[in-house]
Amino acid sequence: MHNPFDTIVKRIGKEVLSPSGATTINDPIYPETQYADLHHRPDPGRRAERARLGLLGQLASVDCLIEVYSEPPGGEEFRACLSKHLAVWQQRAREERARKKRPEPRPPEAAEPFLWIIAAGTPITLLAKLKAEPAAMWPAGIHLVGDEILRIGVVDASKLPRDSSTLLIRIMAGGRVMTRAIPELADLPADAYVRSGAEPLLLQYNHLLQATASLTPEQEEFLTMMLKTWEQLKTEARTEGRAQGLAEGRAEGRAEGRAQAGAKHLLGLRVGSRDWRACHTCGWTCRTFAPCSRAFQDLVF
């Protein structure tokens, strides 16, 4: 993956996956050093944490590499991913052979590793040449390659159902798929796990692009969507705040009116005039007279 969103995608993936197992960014793969976008090793005891991630949590239920492309990958990109995948497999085989030579009890064998390639666009040519089949029992947009021999899945994020279960994957895919997912993210409750994991990093990416001199059309669309979405959120928040304030103000206004009447009598102030004298108790001059309302509460009521 070679685009400005690269680092943000990896950080979002690590942020949301780490609570459910060890997750490494740019994990080095030997013997010839290569780097996986994300390498996730799930903790069997953290199924609840994975369940919060929707489809991403299902993909990450076994040891897996996750490679992300904001454009449809071709043969060269697929071979690079396959090379990393096979290297991880061979590395695990070496570790397993070494464990068998040790006398201590061995842990149960984990499922063999999986490679997930997430693409923002449909890799039509690649899927056709690989004879990749739509995956049964998985949502639309997921194709499997090589059955249990290779254990590879290609996720076309643009074809995934547009619901909350696929939201993280669509954001991680980048490109226009990510841009279209931003309003859905903003619609989630502020304390939703998916939103708290992705939103801060999207805002960082937004700031990064604002300082960039030359933008691609997709990056400009992203900035426009971010501005539109967060401006709408601010408008809704102001509307909600005004409605709440009006409701609270009616109740407070009735009590305050009685307090002002008592304070007017006690201090000889002309309520509604700009030349009120300062309150004898708190020293404030206040058009709403709220401090004096509190000060004279016992006298008025």
* 105 and 223 assigned to the same domain: yes
Which residue range(s) make up the domain with 288? Answer: 256-301
Average pLDDT over residues 125-142: 94
Instruction: Confirm whether 243 is domain-assigned.
Output: no
- Whether 199 shows a pLDDT value over 70: the answer reads yes
- Whether 147 shows a pLDDT value over 70: the answer reads yes
CB-CB neighbours of 75 under 10 Å: 12
Residues 6+ apart with CB under 8 A from 35: 26, 27, 28, 29, 84
Instruction: Confirm whether 245 is domain-assigned.
Output: no
* 60 and 101 assigned to the same domain: yes
Residue 277 has what pLDDT? Answer: 36
Of 272 and 146, more confident: 146
Average pLDDT over residues 134-147: 94
Place of tokens 């998985």: 138
Of 294 and 116, more confident: 116
* 110 and 195 assigned to the same domain: yes
Residue 295 has what pLDDT? Answer: 34
* 188 and 291 assigned to the same domain: no
Average pLDDT over residues 98-109: 68
How confident is the model over 271-291, as pLDDT tens digits? 333 333 333 333 333 333 333
* 47 and 174 assigned to the same domain: yes
Average pLDDT over residues 253-268: 42
How confident is the model over 209-231, as pLDDT tens digits? 999 889 999 999 999 999 988 77
The three-state DSSP-derived secondary structure of the chain is CCCCCHHHHHHHHHHHHHHHEEEEEEEEECCCCEEEEEEEEECCCCHHHHHCCCHHHHHCCCCEEEEEECCCCCHHHHHHHHHHHHHHHHHHHHHHHHHHCCCCCCCCCCCCCEEEEEECCCCHHHHHHHCCEECCCCCCCEEEECHHHHCEEEEEHHHCCCCHHHHHHHHHHCHHHHHHHHHHHHHCCCCCHHHHHHHHHHHHHHHHHHCCCCCCHHHHHHHHHHHHHHHHHHHHHHHHHHHHHHHHHHHHHHHHHHHHHHHHHHHCCCCCCCCCCCCCCCCCCCCCCHHHHHHCHHHHC
**The model scores a pTM over 0.85:** no
* 195 and 267 assigned to the same domain: no
* 50 and 167 assigned to the same domain: yes
How confident is the model over 7-59, as pLDDT tens digits? 888 888 899 999 999 998 887 776 567 888 999 999 999 999 999 999 999 99
Burial of 198 (0-12, 13-18, 19+ CB in 10 A): buried
Residue 249 has what pLDDT? Answer: 57
Instruction: Confirm whether 251 is domain-assigned.
Output: no
